[in-house]
Amino acid sequence: MDASPGAVMLAGLPTNENNSEVEVSLEETALLDGLSSASATRMCKFCYSDELVNDTWRHPCRCSGSMKWVHGRCFAQWLRKAPPQQQNQCQTCRFTYKKHWVMKNFSDWCRPPLRLSGWEILEILLDGYSTFKFIRGIIWTIDGKRSFLVQLAHFCFWRMFIATDRRMAYYSNLSRTLMSSVFDISVKDFSERDNHINRSTSTSELALAGP
């Protein structure tokens, strides 16, 4: 028995179940398209803005995804105000920034923005005087005018109270501030070659440190 033309037409039409599957498929496609466009949109990990007006996008470290991009001005401001350790290394991916100094035009040279208190100046003078005496003691030890044990005690005192990690970080930051009057710090964008070199250096340091 042949099917009627109406039955054939009904068979060709999608059922409710097929309609539901088509709607779900369209929703999934729209969702994937939205995620793709969202992932393609760059957002600064410091100011959380995707706007770029008279600025450049930078990628200074190994971070990816939403943490990959940063505005050039935001990154420059971060380098000026961040603690010394965070000025040299990304705290998220632990990648060491590739920095180099670029001399400014002579017309752009300026006085370093030093804001030293009276106590800080006194500490610098005392540290300098103690370091001078320590170096003079080394010369005296070489010439035989001072015993090795006395100089060793002087070195322990100098290392514990003068050349501490905190003071070394302070002087490192102070030297960068002084150099900023003549030089600009430029940071290279991340590349796979830098990633390979950075990992090789970390592996070598771990090997030298030993178990």
Q: Are residues 203 and 159 in the same domain?
A: no
Write the pLDDT tens digit of every residue in 84-107.
667 888 888 989 888 888 898 999
Is 19 a domain residue?
yes
7 has pLDDT over 50:
no
**For residues 63 and 20, which has the higher predicted lDDT (pLDDT)?**
63
Over 80: is that where the pLDDT of 77 sits? Answer: yes
Give residues with Cβ within 8 angstroms of 58, minimum separation 6: 69, 70, 71, 72, 75, 187, 189
What digits encode the pLDDT tens for the residues 141-198?
999 999 999 999 999 999 999 999 889 988 988 888 888 899 988 888 888 665 555 5
As a whole number of angstroms, the distance between CA 203 and CA 198 comes to 9
pTM of the model: 0.54
Residue at 189 is within a domain: no
- Within-domain flag for 179: no
Q: Is residue 74 part of a domain?
A: yes
Tokens of 128: 């300098």
pLDDT at res. 161:
93
Overall number of domains in the chain = 3
Examine residue 200 and state whether it is found in any structural domain, yes or no: yes
Domain that holds residue 83: 42-97+194-211
Q: Strand runs (DSSP E) across the chain, as ranges? A: 57-58, 70-71, 99-103, 183-187
pLDDT of residue 28: 55
